[in-house]
Structure 1
Amino acid sequence: MHLRAVPFSPGSTSDGVGNSGVSISSGTYPGDRPGIQWVWVKKAETDRTLSVEVVIEYPSPFVTFVSATPGDYMSSCTHDDAEHKIHCTGTVPQLSPAQDVTGTLTTIFESTCELFTDPQTQLDFKGWVGFGDGTWNMTHV
């Protein structure tokens, strides 16, 4: 399985309300266990609160949503008539919004998916931060 890292420039938006983020798609399932890493390469504003929101879509409108702040443990498990399951767990890194973590890789969650009826389906992993002035990537571990 391969995940594609997509960088966003400072100030870029992808949700229309000022949040920066990336969207990457996984390979085929079942049984793959991807880890997602976020790479911060720019200092954030000191007066903003860092938050992390993870949206996994399979297929629309089959959506699970996880939101957490630094240091929080987040977990989500979604079933669809006992045929599909998406399970996400992880701890958001304890980082100050002003902390410069250039070059640091921090794993924040990993996900498994069992697709009994459609093992070729792709899942979209979408990560957001609570401000729009940082450049970051998500990559496959």
Structure 2
Amino acid sequence: MLCAIMMLAAGAIGAVAITGEYGTGLIRTTFAAVPARRSVMAAKVGVLTLVMTGYGAVVAALSFWLSQAILARRDAGVSIGDPGSLRLVVPLVFADDRHWAAVVEHALPSSAWTRLVDVRYDPGVGIPFPWTVGGAWTVFAAPRRDQ
């Protein structure tokens, strides 16, 4: 639940950061100072990424602390320094059953190539978000920005 609230907050903050200057008209001043629109957007994305990473780290630490305070009352809590406690976190973020992780994986050319050349691929066996051949070809057909 807390993760969903954090994602909604991050999306709202990102939208305000990008569109806020347009609403006030300050975008004209920004583009007068830096006419390269891609550079401006890249700078905004970079700053927003750093801020939201810090925000996410604080929320994750508070969430861990709060859940361990509750579990410690039932003699089930663990310390962050206990062996294996950090290994519980990373697989939860990049699990195969997460839709966003599948979307990121499906956008990678290496994964698309693997899908196209793997003749043993069976989308009905334990894959919650399976590839399609058309989707894999779309990754290669999409125009790249650096061309």
TM-score, length-normalised on structure 1?
0.20
Between the two structures, name the one with larger relative contact order (CA 8 Å, sep ≥ 6).
1
Larger Rg: 2
> What TM-score results when the alignment is normalised by the length of structure 2?
0.19
- Which structure: greater helix fraction? 2
Q: If each structure's strand is expressed as a fraction of its own residues, which one has the higher value?
A: 1
